[in-house]
Structure 1
């Protein structure tokens, strides 16, 4: 019987990505949650940062599709299937970078919310990268 670990890891990662996407879309729409993002310097983000959040939402949604496609839970991802193993490693590397950035942010609320989320995302994407066949 195949291992359930890749499936669980992919679903966990996709759920975390969904939370990130929702947060970034809220920022892009102008919700004043800027203290929990971008170093926490302001509540309301300027237009350029709102655009950045919109782009980030699209990218994170793509990673959600990639991890789900890697284990066969969705029928499409924005990359060819042959690229998915490498893309999952890229996702893990970005999650690792996110851990570092969220650990060093000056914003206590950003650190409180996003450091645990990024650690969980790193664990899930690493588990998927290491176990998906």
Structure 2
């Protein structure tokens, strides 16, 4: 069951990656990200920020999969804790963002993501 929970977390991370790709491609979703400062398409500088988040999200997904014991990864356990820390920071930021739209969309999603990562890290400790 631990691997399945880690898979859910990794799938959520990939979903966020696809959202970031849409932002980079010019999708008019600025109200749902980066504090909602840009109602339509993100300006180029903010698209770079979206692009920089992609490797972070992929690393988080792999770190949690590794912590759950996914075959062939074997990352140091501290990477899972770092992924959980990032998930918690992201959750907090999405709860306090001035953008109602961002808070409404990403608030619940990031709570679930942090809970999934936390579950994997706590339960895998005894595994």
Normalising by structure 1, report the TM-score.
0.85
Equivalence for 1:26: 22
Deviation, structure 1 residue 71: 3.0
Residue of structure 2 equivalent to 1:38: 34
* Cα offsets for 1:34-62 (capped at 9, x unmatched): 10000111122111110111110121012
Aligned partner (choices 88, 93, 103) of residue 111 of structure 1 = 103
d(CA) in 2 for partners of 1:39, 1:94: 17
Q: Is 1:130 matched up with 2:125?
A: no
Question: Contact 1:65/1:74 (CA < 8 Å) preserved in 2?
Answer: no
Unaligned runs of 5+ residues in structure 1 are none
Q: Are the counterparts in 1 of residues 68 and 121 from structure 2 also a CA contact under 8 Å? A: no
Q: For structure 2, which runs of at least 5 residues remain unmatched after alignment?
A: none
Q: Which residue of 2 aligns with 1:13?
A: 9
Paired position in structure 1 for 2:86? 94
Q: Paired residues, what number?
A: 124
Root-mean-square deviation (CA, aligned residues, Å) is: 1.5
3-state DSSP class of the match of 1:45? Answer: coil
**Gap change, CA 1:74 and 1:65, over 3 Å in 2:** farther
Aligned pair in 2 of structure 1 residues 97, 20: CA closer, same or farther (>3 Å)?
A: same
Please list the CA deviations of residues 64-119 of structure 1 after superposition, one character each: whole Å capped at 9, or x if unmatched.
1222233344634xxxx351x21111111111111211111111110011011110
* 1:48 partnered with 2:45: yes
The answer to whether the 8 A contact 1:9-1:128 is kept is yes
| 1:58 paired residue number | 55
